[in-house]
Structure 1
Amino acid sequence: MQVLRLLPLVLASLVLASQAPLAPHAEADAVDVSNEPWTSKYGAQTDLPYSGPLSFGHMPYTRCLEDASAKFDIAVFGFPFDTTVSYRPGARFGPFGIRTASRWVHSTIYPLAWGKSPSELGAEIIDCGDVPLTPFDNEKALDQMESAYTTLLGRPVASDANATTITARSASLSLDGRPHPAIVTLGGDHTITLPILRSLSKYYGKISVIHFDSHFDTGRMGNSSTKYERVMHGSYFSVAYEEGHMTNNSIHGGIRQKMRDQSTIQQDEEVGFQVISAEDLDDYGLETVVSTIRSRVGDGPVYLSLDIDVIDPAFAPATGTPEAGGWTVREMKRIIRGLTGLNFVGADLVEVAPSYDNADVTSIVASDLVYDFLVMMQMEAPPPKHKGPLWEKYEKKA
């Protein structure tokens, strides 16, 4: 019993220790290593897919909250938080799992479907690490997330306003007429989207949301709930809408949750969402789904939020509230490509809980989708549907 009483104190001390900054290395003059045995024979110390420091896709890593000298147009940012879940915990380990799986999807390579890699489209992308979030106080953790996100949004971008698609888009949409960095956030449970929308609305006004999920996440807790008891991973959109951060032309995709009654749908409509169910993809086809999403959100600022449980648990089992009958990974990737060119100001991928995984398959799926985000947000239009550069090369030879 004594050990159990001491456990909260031990956990608190570990959290405080993890928040302490690392001591910087002493600065030293550059040393010429060109004639040393390794460099003279083999050149640079490059990272292999399974080696090197852990960052998303082997991207440059900086603790951006404490180092304002790092300039970027897009940041990958981790929110390791899962204390508002209603079923299985573990999403606080999502950022680590996604980054680990991303070692294979290096930012300088590209698949045939895109024809471009994230690093060759002009934007400066870095991994800004994780926010050290308290697991003991949800109110404080939400404030930490909002403060961290707002800090990065306020940083100057690396590129000129008109130099890249993403900076030009931001400058045209922001309330101050200046470009602001785009942030791709790794969750974490889905409540992390609330502080993100609070931050984004300061710079862009009301945001339209494209929400891929098996659940509505627009629930309301009962009147007996406390202020922060009503904020959880199934209600955060209602809170964000009531606080004035969202437009009334948002849209869900992949919905298939079980409902107690029709009040769930009525509540969802009141929060400004249109619904595309998981089976609508079969009934109406991918092209109709994509065009419906694009017309729904229009030309204003758009935020993309993807819960990994939108994917069928056959392909992504490691999540807190799995629902059978979801989309395949290939279907999800094609929809994402079809949304290229919308005015995205940020994105997140949430609810990856690696402890429930088999052979890291969920983390692999998640890292690949984040990779797609980083390309999609930089392109002005969807890539060609069928024939990529390899097919064109074969045709020229023929």
Structure 2
Amino acid sequence: MATGPDGRQLVGPVNAAKTPRWAGLGTFARLPRIDEVEHADLAVVGIPFDAGVSYRSGARFGPNHVRESSRLLRPFNPAQSASPFALCQVADAGDLVANPFDISEAIDAIATDASELIGAGTKLVSIGGDHTIALPLLRAAHRAHGPVALLHFDAHLDTWDTYFGAEYTHGTPFRRAHEEGLIDPDAVMHVGTRGPLYGTQDLNDDERFGFGIVSSADVMRRGVDSVVAVLRDKVGDRPLYVSLDIDVLDPAHAPGTGTPEAGGMTSRETLEILRGLRGLNIVGCDVVEVSPAYDHAELTGIAAAHVVYEMLTLLALGPGAAPGSPAYGISETTYGESAEQDKPGGRV
């Protein structure tokens, strides 16, 4: 037990000095289950659904794979100089049940269950599952906050119209979200996008929906601080949803995914960009498309676990958190000091 900033007694992770990391139930970061706490301010929830994939399946096994990969996480985050599990009550809410044979029914069920948790005052970091799940999660976020800003980390646009006539797939959630008015078209960005397209119409449609793009090549050429400045300016103080497809990482860093593309971001770049979102009004996050069958040496699961950990830290710190100083290293926080050429919007 620990005492939080508001005086509440918080239940933290299992003590690794008393119980070996490989023992016990596989909750995320060995956190308590949601039924073991009076109230969860933040919750990790699994959504083991992958009926919307267009290539390699297997992301239905992602949530538990990421949980197992998170066993080595420790309670103090030195990169953000914060102990997220001591700032508020964080728990593992288990998995949301979704019909694997009826995508529309699954989407409705995910939105309903996520809304129930959010309505109880719990912010969610969801582990997929394929990217179809972002649509119901955005519906739930919209019910609570209205149209939200969106930062979409992905190798792909995911704003296509249909696959084989199907409107609800892992390649279409953000087109549907735009059509339903779930996202603010003035504050939506893709990050890490790359790879071949079907044609220039893909980009034309995407721009029509309001999306700007920071490609993986932009991240490499311009650097993390410049990219973070663009994203922060774009989002402002709006309620923000962060959706991260693990294939935003290069396959060298995350081979265990359904639609890998060469030329992606490194795990270091990805984590540093996420840390640069500190203090924004983040209302929910997801990490999707982890497919353990292709995850050699657990590289993808480990990367995804660290992404979830950074997301939890951002949510625990909350909106308005001051820029942090890393507890080790000589890094300097320069987020927000954008150059003239870093103005947000459009194709960057």
Letter matched to residue 232 of structure 1: T
Superposition pairs for residues 100-249 of structure 1, below 5 Å? Answer: 100-106=68-74, 108-110=75-77, 112-120=78-86, 122-155=87-120, 180-221=121-162, 225=165, 229-248=166-185, 249=187
Aligned equivalents of 1:53, 1:350: Cα separation in 2: 22
1:229-275 Cα shifts (integer Å, max 9, x gaps)? 21111111010110111101200100002112211111111222100
Q: CA 1:44–1:310 in structure 2 vs 1: closer, same or farther (change >3 Å)?
A: closer
1:47-84 Cα shifts (integer Å, max 9, x gaps)? 32111111000100135xxx9x8411101111000000
> Aligned residue for 1:36?
none
Q: Does 1:81 align with 2:49?
A: yes
SS of the residue corresponding to residue 111 of structure 2 reads helix
SS of the residue corresponding to residue 279 of structure 1 reads helix
1:291-345 Cα shifts (integer Å, max 9, x gaps)? 0001111111000001000001001000000001001111111111111111100
- Which of 226, 230, 241 does residue 292 from structure 1 map onto? 230
SS of the residue corresponding to residue 252 of structure 1 reads strand
CA contact (8 A) 2:42 2:122 kept: yes
Letter matched to residue 271 of structure 1: F
1:90-137 Cα shifts (integer Å, max 9, x gaps)? 00000010000111113x233x322222212x2110100001222111
Structure 1, gaps ≥5 residues long: 1-42, 156-179, 392-398
CA contact (8 A) 1:309 1:322 kept: yes
Q: CA 1:44–1:149 in structure 2 vs 1: closer, same or farther (change >3 Å)?
A: closer
Larger Rg: 1
- Which of 237, 243, 249 does residue 311 from structure 1 map onto? 249
Q: CA 1:104–1:244 in structure 2 vs 1: closer, same or farther (change >3 Å)?
A: same
SS of the residue corresponding to residue 227 of structure 2 reads helix
CA contact (8 A) 1:251 1:293 kept: yes
Letter matched to residue 327 of structure 2: G
> Aligned residue for 2:190?
252
Aligned equivalents of 2:288, 2:134: Cα separation in 1: 9
Letter matched to residue 51 of structure 2: T
Letter matched to residue 300 of structure 1: R
Q: CA 1:350–1:382 in structure 2 vs 1: closer, same or farther (change >3 Å)?
A: farther
Moved more, 340-349 or 47-56: 47-56
1:172-229 Cα shifts (integer Å, max 9, x gaps)? xxxxxxxx3210000000010000111111110001100100000011127x83xxx2
- Which of 63, 80, 91 does residue 59 from structure 2 map onto? 91
Q: Does 1:54 align with 2:26?
A: yes
Aligned equivalents of 2:176, 2:161: Cα separation in 1: 8
Q: TM-score, normalised by structure 2?
A: 0.86
Aligned equivalents of 1:113, 1:333: Cα separation in 2: 9
Letter matched to residue 79 of structure 1: I
Deviation at 1:45, TM superposition (A): 10
1:13-49 Cα shifts (integer Å, max 9, x gaps)? xxxxxxxxxxxxxxxxxxxxxxxxxxxxxx9994321
- Which of 327, 340, 345 does residue 388 from structure 1 map onto? 327
Q: Which runs of 4+ in 1 moved over 6 A?
A: none
Aligned equivalents of 1:44, 1:357: Cα separation in 2: 26
> Aligned residue for 2:337?
none
Aligned equivalents of 2:329, 2:193: Cα separation in 1: 36
> Aligned residue for 2:8?
none
Letter matched to residue 79 of structure 2: A
CA contact (8 A) 1:237 1:271 kept: no
Q: CA 1:76–1:325 in structure 2 vs 1: closer, same or farther (change >3 Å)?
A: same
Letter matched to residue 58 of structure 1: R
Q: TM-score, normalised by structure 1?
A: 0.75
CA contact (8 A) 1:337 1:383 kept: no
Q: CA 1:90–1:203 in structure 2 vs 1: closer, same or farther (change >3 Å)?
A: same
CA contact (8 A) 1:337 1:382 kept: no
Q: Structure 1 or 2: larger strand share?
A: 2
Number of matched pairs: 312
SS of the residue corresponding to residue 259 of structure 2 reads coil
Letter matched to residue 168 of structure 2: V
CA contact (8 A) 2:247 2:259 kept: yes
Deviation at 1:389, TM superposition (A): 5.6
Aligned equivalents of 1:272, 1:342: Cα separation in 2: 20
Q: Percent identity?
A: 41
